[in-house]
Amino acid sequence: MINRILVANRAEIASRVFRTARNLGIGTVAVHSDADAGLPFVAEADHAVRLPGNTPAETYLRADLVIEAAKVAGADAIHPGYGFLSENADFARAVEAAGLVWIGPSPASIEKMGSKIEAKKIMATAGVPVLEAPASPAESDLPLLVKASAGGGGRGMRIVRSLDALAAEVATAEAEAASAFGDGTVFVEPYVEAGRHVEVQVVGDGAGNVAVFGERDCSLQRRHQKVIEEAPAPLLPDAVRSALHEAARNAAAAIDYRGAGTVEFLYDAATERFWFLEMNTRLQVEHPVTELVHGVDLVELQIAVAEGGGVGVEANTAGHAIEVRLYAEDPSADYQPQSGTLRRLEFSGDVRIDAGYASGSEVSTFYDAMLAKVIVHAPSRQAAIRRLVGVLRTAKIHGLVTNREQLVELLGSEAFRTGEVTTSLLDGRKFVRPAEDPGAPVAAAIALAERTRRPGVPVAWRNVTNQPQRTVFEDGEDEITVEWHGTRDGYRIDGAEVIAAGQSRVVLEKDGLRTAYEISVDGDRVDVDSASGHTALRKRPRFVDPADQVAEGSLLAPMPGSVVSVHAERDERVTAGQKLIVLEAMKMQHTVTAPTDGVLTQINVTPGTQVAAGEVLAVVEEETA
């Protein structure tokens, strides 16, 4: 019997494992980097051990430190979560060699599936359909997909549509794979343009017995990273569904799989054919939708198998579940990751939230940008979509730009509602944030006035009553000025009537329509929530410090990160679009290019430099006649 589990992971998945452990009466141990010391998962554990440093290589990828932490904390088992060391066969062996219980598949099984190249050979032998990679790619083989052999999550993956670009894309994929997984091995396979990503959840006992807990559709992806997942998969013929389940069962049995795992397939709806992609020898990020539909706790099953138990009975499908991944990123700015203080994160309604952060948490640049998983379960798919849209719209998310609005748009799109989603749906699709409610700045200005109003004094009393008061906000790069009058009877604003005014709630009426606004103020930051959505504003100070201004032509860091490479020198003449600097943030690389023809008059960084968002990286002085 397991008495105390150390989770060799962080944030959301650590909290998830702790929840089941508590329900089973099992003690818990967290390990954490310095950057994660203040996150909820650390406080939720019975015990915590610090891993000095911030980067994954210094902390969560240090197998020796993790095992030593387990010994110090008196843990007798290690759960790897997902990512980091979860699919590292050497780590699994080291855990077992240390006399600890490894809550996962055998090291041999991990090794067999660890290389996507070798995994395909095993699957082909087991009779599972696989995509054959061309030995010498030709034009007729295009498009192609470059993939990392040792990892997933979109890192080290590139679509190639021209043979001339193949070498460069392979080199980029190798660099990303080496950074993310410590292994730069990549391979090439045919790219199915309109494929669907369908995966099957399995649980094995290590003796050839495999239970199947349905399938999930994870086709809606951006840059090969999943965004929305659901169970069961929509528009899947019964014969295909049964064949997928049987193929997954055979795949797991072929390697005597033990514990929870997922067999991923690429499905072509036009031909009703499917091919093996990979097997994740761990718990998946999207496992909650399977749990809600089948009424099981997959972490509990993992622990049961690790303790020598069986796989249990297969559960029947009930209803429909959908999960969205809430990321700290800006889809309208090429998915730039965001970091900083998450001032507020609150959800309401009938919903399951698996979150790694809470109100007040600091989101660093060292790890994945996912804040939380928002999951709903309903009797039907359409009911689940409607419920999830409502939960997202009413959520209070302040402090960071997220993909919340994009998620709402995607859930409401015709393609998603009909279930006709493919992995290429978001390719080349530009997300434009919806227009913000013009009443939000007005409500914010009134709430700020109420906060400075003295009891018994008329609203914004002043000698020159015919001149309006002005409150100026910054909304991104836009400036918004609200003009209003304060009278003995309240506020007067052109175009709107103030029905109620308070420090945190304002009601406006315009053209006979009343709208209530909830206002949160934190220093110069003002967040406004209403039925129309969320607006983040910054109150502009009356006087601007000249030191805060930057020179024209300055190239600012689009996000916090580390400089990977610099491709030009000071005083060098550059052309518009030329690659100057490559940044890495949250395991993805981003290129900073010259905005115009000119001369690089300043270069302020070198490879390895850590930069903050908005920091001046270089200055390009435009050439003039």
Distance of CA 382 to CAs 56, 133, 288, 319, 620, Å? 40, 39, 18, 11, 52
CATH of the domain at 329: 3.30.470.20
Beta bridge pairs of residue 68: none
Q: Is residue 422 part of a domain?
A: no
Are 488 and 482 in contact, with CB atoms under 8 Å apart? no
Q: Is residue 274 part of a domain?
A: yes
Q: Indicate if the pLDDT at residue 625 is higher than 50.
A: no
> Which pLDDT does position 615 carry in this prediction?
86
CATH of the domain at 43: 3.40.50.20
> Which pLDDT does position 591 carry in this prediction?
87
pLDDT mean across residues, the chain: 91
Q: Indicate if the pLDDT at residue 33 is higher than 70.
A: yes
Other Cβ atoms within 10 Å of 523 Cβ, number: 8
Average pLDDT rounded to a whole number, residues 324-330:
96
| 209/228 same-domain check | yes
> Which pLDDT does position 611 carry in this prediction?
86
Nearest residue to 50 via CA among 63, 625, 61, 35 = 35
Q: Indicate if the pLDDT at residue 604 is higher than 80.
A: yes
Q: Indicate if the pLDDT at residue 459 is higher than 70.
A: no
Q: Indicate if the pLDDT at residue 134 is higher than 90.
A: no
| 280/398 same-domain check | yes
The domain boundary, picked from 487, 521, 539, lies at 539
| 558/519 same-domain check | no
Cα separation, 374 vs 242, in Å, equals 29
Tell me: the pLDDT tens digits for 290-323? 999 999 999 999 999 999 998 876 678 899 999 9
pTM: 0.85
> Which pLDDT does position 488 carry in this prediction?
79
Q: Is residue 126 part of a domain?
A: no
| 185/287 same-domain check | no
| 179/90 same-domain check | no
| 411/466 same-domain check | no
| 378/245 same-domain check | yes
Residue type, 322: I
Q: Is residue 350 part of a domain?
A: yes
Cα separation, 399 vs 412, in Å, equals 25
Lowest mean pLDDT among 41-45, 82-86, 147-151: 147-151
Lowest mean pLDDT among 190-204, 398-412, 504-518: 190-204
Identify which has the larger pLDDT, 117 or 283. 283
| 561/448 same-domain check | no
Question: Roughly how many angstroms between the first and final C-alpha of the chain, as a whole number?
Answer: 79
Cα separation, 545 vs 533, in Å, equals 32
| 47/70 same-domain check | yes
Q: Is residue 155 part of a domain?
A: yes
Plot region of 134 (φ>0 → left; ψ -120 to 50 → alpha; else → beta): beta
Average pLDDT rounded to a whole number, residues 73-87:
97
Tell me: the pLDDT tens digits for 361-408? 999 988 988 999 999 999 999 999 999 999 999 999 999 999 999 999
| 458/509 same-domain check | yes
Q: Is residue 124 part of a domain?
A: no
> Which pLDDT does position 82 carry in this prediction?
96
Residue 141: its H or E element: none
The domain boundary, picked from 512, 539, 566, lies at 539
CATH of the domain at 514: 3.30.700
Q: Is residue 139 part of a domain?
A: yes
Q: Indicate if the pLDDT at residue 216 is higher than 70.
A: yes
> Which pLDDT band holds residue 622 (cuts at 50, 70, 90)?
confident
Tell me: the pLDDT tens digits for 525-552? 999 999 999 999 999 886 555 555 566 7
Average pLDDT rounded to a whole number, residues 327-336:
92
> Which pLDDT does position 115 carry in this prediction?
83
Lowest mean pLDDT among 139-153, 238-252, 415-429, 566-580: 139-153
Q: Is residue 169 part of a domain?
A: yes
Domain containing 224: what range? 196-417
Domain count, the chain: 5
CA 548 from centroid of its chain's CA atoms: 32
CATH of the domain at 148: 3.30.1490.20
- Write the DSSP string, 255-320: TT-EEEEEEEEEEETTTTEEEEEEEE-S--TTHHHHHHHHT--HHHHHHHHHTT----PPPPP-SE
| 347/473 same-domain check | no
Q: What angle do CA 220, 338, 289 make, to 5 degrees?
A: 35
CATH of the domain at 572: 2.40.50.100
| 466/402 same-domain check | no
Residue 521: its H or E element: strand 513-522
The domain boundary, picked from 103, 118, 145, lies at 103
Lowest mean pLDDT among 129-138, 247-256, 332-341, 476-485: 129-138
Average pLDDT rounded to a whole number, residues 496-503:
95
Tell me: the pLDDT tens digits for 195-210? 999 999 999 999 989 9
Q: Indicate if the pLDDT at residue 153 is higher than 70.
A: no
Q: Indicate if the pLDDT at residue 453 is higher than 90.
A: no
Other Cβ atoms within 10 Å of 238 Cβ, number: 7
Residue type, 239: A
Average pLDDT rounded to a whole number, residues 143-152:
80
